[in-house]
Amino acid sequence: MLQNLIFLVLFINLVKGNGELTVISSPPGAFFKGHQRITETDLLEVCSAALGFSIEHTSSFSGFYITDPFKLASAVVLVNVDGVTSLGGSNGHTFPLKTNVDENEISFLLSHRIQERYPNKKNIIVDVNLAQGLNSLKDIGFLKETNEIEPQKITYRFLKPTIKEDQEFIDEINTLNVITEQIRDGVITNDFEPDLITIKFLALHAVSDLHGENSSATNEAKQILLDEIDRLNTALKKTYSDRVLVAFSTNDASHTRRTREAPADTKETEDNSMNRAKTYSSNYPVIFNIILWFGVIMVFTLLAISMAIGYMDPGRDSIIYRMTSTRMKKDN
């Protein structure tokens, strides 16, 4: 029984997803300590506290400390690396991470808190998906002058640009390099109002699936990404005068085996022949249970009321029978 319980707990943790949170830069008025496990809901409160906001939910995480409330962060920058549990060695402070909520929800809630406290909309709040390439950068205010991507002069030993997955990784690295160069050139002005930049790096997932999690190509890709994040961190620290929280997270919550793309007509035939069930919202079980048990309670309540009325004594219990009788009793 105990073995089954342990297996169930481990299974639930695997379904939720695990990874790492590595803090590579923190403001002078705060620091991180220890290696306690942190959840993404706790990460939201940590980022809020680093910006000087009061936290809205209690947290059991004790690895973050504020030493000077006047030297907290002017910006939070989070790089989310999808599909791997770890990038390996880095110079930052690493915590085990449990991905118990969607990372997009963390970004949304944190941006909402910033806009709620600073409604003048002068803050930089951006969410960059590197997989969308250069075109996505042109829609971002401080990056709209970006015209072209100059490929980095990197010699790849194991990654091959002729392979689709490897080329997609290289493209995302080049896009991240454009952002780093723009920040280093001074496109962001530190106005001491909190900024939020979240960056999604998705291509490492495909490289890991294709070559293997511990392959030479995957390890080379991880090191290239770590170097680029370090360059981004250096540019951000200069822009915000060290008053910035920079961290990257890894998670395997969406790590599924990728398959080669099939022709379009084949995929349509498979979809039509599989007779798949309808996709329901995540709120469906909740709504279903509310309606089910409300219906059960109503049925038994009506039954009890009906039986109580049926067994009433017309002469003693109810005025209804006496007042509606065709022959009313009269006092002589």
3-state secondary structure 215-283: CHHHHHHHHHHHHHHHHHHHHHHHHCCCCEEEEEEEECCCCCCCCCCCCHHHHHHHHHHCCCCCCCCCC
pLDDT in tens, the chain (332 residues): 445 444 444 444 444 557 899 999 999 999 999 889 998 889 999 999 999 998 877 778 889 999 999 999 999 999 999 888 888 876 889 999 988 777 788 889 999 999 888 887 678 888 999 998 877 777 777 776 666 666 667 778 899 989 999 999 999 999 999 899 889 988 888 887 899 999 999 999 999 999 988 899 999 999 999 999 999 999 999 999 999 999 999 988 655 444 444 444 444 444 444 555 566 677 888 898 999 999 999 999 999 999 988 887 666 655 665 565 555 555 54
Q: Count Cα neighbours of 228 within 13 Å in the Cβ-side half-sphere.
A: 27
Classify residue 148 by its DSSP letter: -
Q: pTM for this structure?
A: 0.70
| C-alpha separations of 81 from 3, 5, 48, 63, 222 in Å | 33, 31, 21, 22, 10
Alpha helices in the chain (DSSP H): 2-16, 40-50, 103-117, 134-137, 164-184, 203-211, 216-239, 264-273, 284-310, 319-324
Tokens 């939020």 correspond to 196
* Euclidean distance between CA atoms 158 and 172, whole angstroms: 17
pLDDT at 314: 63
pLDDT at 149: 60
Report residue 201: phi and psi, to 5°: -115, 110
Report residue 90: phi and psi, to 5°: -150, 170
* Euclidean distance between CA atoms 176 and 200, whole angstroms: 10
313 exposed, middle or buried (CB, 10 Å; 0-12, 13-18, 19+)? exposed
Q: How many residues does the chain have?
A: 332
Question: What are the structure tokens assigned to 195, written together?
Answer: 């900024």
* Enclosing H/E stretch for 196: strand 195-201
Q: Count Cα neighbours of 65 within 13 Å in the Cβ-side half-sphere.
A: 6
Q: Do residues 26 and 50 lie in contact, with contact meaning Cβ atoms separated by under 8 Å?
A: yes
Amino acid at 215: S
Tokens 């990728």 correspond to 258
Report residue 59: phi and psi, to 5°: -135, 145
Question: What are the structure tokens assigned to 18, written together?
Answer: 């695990």
Report which of 329, 331, 305, 302 is spatially closest to residue 321, judged by C-alpha positions. 329
| C-alpha separations of 220 from 73, 99, 123, 202, 289 in Å | 32, 25, 36, 16, 50
